[in-house]
């Protein structure tokens, strides 16, 4: 049986239509990946020991890039930011705009009051049992400073070995330099967990 011209045209158009649908699907998928990867979330690899005992060198995490478009960072949150040396750092927010911050050994004062740091409690207790300070580094005592507007004062959890806002090489972190909030550790598999922000995010 011979095909009509219309049937032949339809048979030829079918593969083209299917190819077009595949192209559309792939473009849509790439668009989703772009939005998620570049606009909403970003991977980050911990480099160094400045956030021990809570984050280890080589751990991979997902950084939420959207949250600080909706609100400002809060004390206790773990953030990733671009440091003056041009490298992304991971630290914990201690002082918000207008806060007065000082460090006296193992105690951090904000606006004249010692803050509770549950994410360091185990290390602080271990040091106290040994009769030594946990924060025994170069900046174990840091005089009171006032956090400027549109900036943060940040500290590493590994206080004796952290290059953070106490260092003149880092200083206050401008909001414009914040990449986002570290929310999930996804590698290695044995370390998968939500990031502990010290409960301050509910404030």
pLDDT, tens digit, for every residue of 95-152? Answer: 999 999 999 999 999 999 999 999 999 999 999 999 999 998 889 999 999 999 999 9
**Catalytic option among 65, 91, 123, 162:** 91
- Among 113, 115, 114, 111, residue whose Cα is nearest residue 100: 111
Is 70 exceeded by the pLDDT of residue 86?
yes
Q: Answer yes or no: 91 catalytic.
A: yes
pTM score of the predicted model: 0.79
pLDDT digits (tens, 9 = 90+) for 3-58: 455 555 555 556 667 777 666 666 555 544 544 444 568 899 999 999 999 999 99
- Among 168, 156, 134, residue whose Cα is nearest residue 54: 156
Q: Answer yes or no: 50 catalytic.
A: yes
**Catalytic option among 16, 24, 42, 50:** 50
Under 8 Å between Cβ of 155 and 162: yes
């Amino acid at each position: 049986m011979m095909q009509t011209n219309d049937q032949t045209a339809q048979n030829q158009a079918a593969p083209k239509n299917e190819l077009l649908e595949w192209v559309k699907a792939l473009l849509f998928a790439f668009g989703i990946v772009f939005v998620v990867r570049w606009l909403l979330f970003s991977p980050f690899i911990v480099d160094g020991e400045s956030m021990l005992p809570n984050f280890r060198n080589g751990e991979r995490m997902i950084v939420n890039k959207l949250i600080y478009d909706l609100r400002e960072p809060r004390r206790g949150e773990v953030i990733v930011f671009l440091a003056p040396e041009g490298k992304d750092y991971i630290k914990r927010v201690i002082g918000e705009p207008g806060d007065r911050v000082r460090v006296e050994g193992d105690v951090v004062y904000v606006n004249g009051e010692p803050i509770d740091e549950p994410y360091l409690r185990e290390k602080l207790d271990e040091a106290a049992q040994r009769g030594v300070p946990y924060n025994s580094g170069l900046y174990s005592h840091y005089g009171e400073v006032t956090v400027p507007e549109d900036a943060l004062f940040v500290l590493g959890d590994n206080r004796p070995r952290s290059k953070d806002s106490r260092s003149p090489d880092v200083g206050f972190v401008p909001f414009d330099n914040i990449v986002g909030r570290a929310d999930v550790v996804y590698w290695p598999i044995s370390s998968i967990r939500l990031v502990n922000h010290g409960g301050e995010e509910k404030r």
